[in-house]
A and B are shown apart, each in its own frame.
Chain A
Amino acid sequence: MGQTIIEKIVSTHANKQVHQNEIAIVNVDGVMATDTTAPLTIKAFQDMGGEKVWDSKKVFLIIDHAAPAPNERIANLHTLMREFAKVQNIKLYDIGEGICHQLMVENHHVKPGQLFLGADSHTCTYGALGAFATGVGSTDLAGVMLTGQTWLKVPASYKITLNGKLQSGVAAKDLILYIVGQLGIEGATYKAIEFTGPAVDSLSLDERMTLSNMAIEMGAKACFVDTTGLELPYDFNHIYGDDDAEYEKEYVFNVSQINPEIAIPHSPDNVRDIAEAIDTPIQMAFIGSCTNGRLDDLHVAAEILKGRRIHPDVRLIIAPASQKVFLDALRDGTVETLTAAGASFISSGCGPCVGTHQGVPGNGENVISATNRNFQGRMGNRHSNVYLASPATVAASALNGKITDPTTLKEAVS
């Protein structure tokens, strides 16, 4: 029987041929934990009797979820992480350096064909560069830190073929929102998603990351984006599925027909054509996160806001996905353009995405956000409403003070 891409990657790491639904003990190439999950991981590791991590070069800690520390309690958890990193001689990315997933990819800590675990559900993002990567909890991660291994059930795969070409003004975010809307929030639970097709081949690494990032919003265990057309600054081997590989389901979408999409409160799969939410007043707008905080995303926003000023009733908050993104945007004038338009830049990291600090909405407020989740209370206030959209839609809406289709912007502002 042939193998899917995911079955191939797991087999390599299990040192035996495996197929879907088998349980495999696998060697892990790298792990990471954040300030939300690392303190519990460290505690579990110590409770397991752990003294040294199995490989100090393969463990990464990131302080991004509540960074800089908003209070004493969290500050002390950050201290715990710093001390652990020092004693263990492992790499720690401190406040402002960026969001965990961006840092892992940007700094080449994860590579095509690898098996990587993160104590964060959006670890599936690394499928963008052809790795098998999945999110686990703190204790599972501690187990890897101790043994270098974990157990997993080999997921069955869904193949999603994307044909056609995205229309101008329609982004990878619109595409993934559309797919999440089609499959639903539990549409791929326990499965791996393999994206392929001509529409994928022309996507940049940034766009591929947006696509794979939200696989978890369909419950997927992992995601793999066909590496055809992928450009990386180092050599790598492409992995392809066998012709007779067994896919549990196959979907084909023509992306040419997709319009700007929006997920309305309170679930990421409440996806509508933007026309259905048009003109909803908004008070807060956010561009950032591991979904859409990269340079291209800031460029799109700057293009829309250049020489203009956001609506007086709107706060626009921007958190670049990493310090590198911030520096690039600073050097090319994007930060200036956006700040002149009224945007507030906050330090690179998760920021308002997870509702801890740096921009919590007020009661009854509507937020348009380029992030990936709009569960009730997600941004820190259960009495607010979060709409998910592309950076272009967020910028256009911030400009008009109401939800706006970026492709119709010229008419809207004149």
Chain B
Amino acid sequence: MIITGKTHVYGDNIDTDRIIPGKYTKTLNLQDLADHVLEDLDPEFRSRVKQGDIIVGGSNFGCGSSREQAPLALKKAGISAVVAQSFARIFFRNAINIGLPVIEVKDHSITMNDEVEVDLQNGQVTNLSTNEVYEGTQIPEVMVKILNEGGLVPYLKEYKSYS
């Protein structure tokens, strides 16, 4: 799976309350989530984001609550992948479960509006704007399988069990 897109870059410890504040999470309408995604952190994000864009974070991206609404809001807003130096555990798992590709890249110098390419198969991120290549961390096989099916819902619909 290869994904390319323009970047929106943020710092360390972007918590789920800043991705989608708790007061907006109680809905099954994903558009309601997308309408408020990142609004406290970056009020301009909603008007700037384009389908296929990529979020780039520092360390501990998605810390805080277990709300799956956080990756769902990003995905619905058009985000095609999240690249970060490290992820909070629940966010990482949730993103894969809902079919939003995430990749951990320890060191990178990606800046706002760079064009990057994410190669999940090989665990690599390429900054097409600077031609730099960053090595990402491999994800467990079970996660690759889930992601290849498009998320945990289609995965379990297909296989009915984990074993």
Binding site for B on A (CB under 8 A): 23, 25, 35-37, 39-40, 43-44, 47-49, 65-66, 73-74, 77, 118-121, 123, 135-140, 142-143, 146-147, 149-151, 153, 185-186, 189-190, 219, 221, 267, 354-356, 373, 375-378, 380, 382
Contact = CB atoms under 8 A, between A and B. Distances in A.
Interface stretch (B2-10, B44-52, B63-71, B119-127): B63-71
B112 interface: no
Given A35-B26, A356-B22, A147 B160 contact: yes
A40 B152 CA distance: 13
A142 B153 CA distance: 9
Interface string B14-30: 01011001110111100
8 contacts: A23-B140, A35-B26, A39-B28, A136-B93, A140-B152, A149-B162, A355-B23, A356-B23
Nearest to B67: A36
Interface range, B side: 35 or more
B90 A186 contact: no
Interface string B150-161: 011100110011
Given A74-B26, A135-B90, 11 more contacts: A48-B153, A66-B26, A136-B93, A137-B90, A137-B98, A186-B60, A189-B60, A219-B63, A376-B18, A378-B22, A382-B40
Interface string B63-98: 111111100100000000000001011100110011
Nearest to A120: B66
Given A37-B66, A121-B90, A189-B60, A356 B26 contact: yes
Given A219-B88, A267-B13, A355 B22 contact: yes
B142 interface: yes
A355 B36 CA distance: 15
B59 interface: yes
Contacts of A73: 26-27
A48 B149 CA distance: 12
B163 interface: yes
A25 B153 contact: no
A355 B25 CA distance: 11
B89 to A, nearest CB: 5
A351 to B, nearest CB: 12
Contacts of B93: 136-137, 140
A248 B144 CA distance: 27
B27 A375 contact: no
